[in-house]
């Protein structure tokens, strides 16, 4: 009788262990998804786009592992739990980095806009010295119009910075700087051509 009772106790203990291992990690799945959502809410979709995509891919792989275990008679979610914990940890680490990335993007956008303003001012000053003559009036008017458009673009880029669209402002400022450099090059070439005559 004592032996039978011991055997039953061991069998019950094994069933408890197997049942506890067989529990789907619902809370871990929810927590991991919430961690990724927190990264996105902080600005991760803009400032850590690739990393967020990787986190979502890793989450999908972990959920696929859960589905594989769901289909088994003896379920073991240990691997899925480990995968979920890794994704959650990575998401939390990334979330802590986002404010610094935003600040860097802001600094870069402001610096690029300052450089664009200088490039436009230089091009404007150079255009004032451009050679005037027969056939150059239309070119000069076109370049003046380009520079006027760049002045408007600078205001727009500043508005993007004020609206915290730092990556968009950075791209716009770099485009302004490049266009101003083109105008400067055209004027310099026209001056060199005139001097060559």
Task: Assess contact for 91 and 38: CB atoms under 8 A.
Answer: yes
**Per-residue confidence (pLDDT) for residue 180, from 0 to 100:** 92
Residue 188: other Cβ atoms inside 10 A: 14
**Per-residue confidence (pLDDT) for residue 134, from 0 to 100:** 60
**Per-residue confidence (pLDDT) for residue 132, from 0 to 100:** 75
**Per-residue confidence (pLDDT) for residue 145, from 0 to 100:** 87
At 35, list the tokens: 């961690």
**Per-residue confidence (pLDDT) for residue 169, from 0 to 100:** 95
**Per-residue confidence (pLDDT) for residue 172, from 0 to 100:** 95
- What CA–CA distances, in Å, run from 1 to 4, 5, 7, 15, 151? 5, 6, 10, 21, 96
**Per-residue confidence (pLDDT) for residue 7, from 0 to 100:** 67
Longest dimension (CA), the chain: 119
**Per-residue confidence (pLDDT) for residue 15, from 0 to 100:** 55
**Per-residue confidence (pLDDT) for residue 82, from 0 to 100:** 95
Measured N-to-C along each axis, helices 137-162 and 78-128 cross at an angle, to the nearest 10 degrees, of: 140
Task: Assess contact for 48 and 39: CB atoms under 8 A.
Answer: yes
Q: How would you write the pLDDT of the chain (197 residues) with one tens digit per residue?
A: 667 557 657 656 565 555 545 689 999 999 999 999 999 999 998 999 999 999 999 999 999 999 999 998 889 999 999 999 999 999 999 999 999 999 999 999 999 999 999 999 999 988 888 777 666 677 778 888 888 899 999 999 999 999 999 999 999 999 999 999 998 888 888 777 776 65
């Amino acid at each position: 009788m004592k032996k039978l009772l011991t055997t039953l106790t061991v069998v019950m203990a094994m069933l408890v262990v197997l049942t506890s291992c067989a529990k789907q990690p619902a809370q871990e799945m929810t927590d991991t998804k919430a961690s990724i959502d927190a990264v996105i809410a902080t600005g991760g979709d803009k400032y850590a786009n690739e990393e967020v995509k990787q986190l979502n891919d890793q989450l999908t792989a972990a959920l696929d592992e859960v589905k594989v275990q769901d289909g088994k008679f003896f379920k073991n979610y240990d691997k899925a739990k480990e995968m979920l914990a890794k994704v959650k940890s990575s998401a939390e680490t990334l979330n802590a980095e986002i404010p610094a990335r935003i600040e860097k993007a802001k600094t870069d956008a402001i610096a690029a806009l300052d450089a664009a303003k200088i490039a436009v001012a230089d091009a404007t000053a150079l255009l004032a010295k451009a050679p005037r003559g027969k056939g150059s009036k239309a070119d000069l008017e076109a370049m003046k119009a380009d520079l006027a458009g760049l002045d408007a673009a600078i205001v727009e880029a500043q508005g993007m910075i004020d609206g915290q669209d730092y990556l968009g402002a950075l791209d716009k400022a770099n485009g302004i700087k490049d266009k101003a450099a083109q105008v400067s090059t055209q004027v310099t070439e026209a001056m060199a051509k005139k001097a060559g005559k």
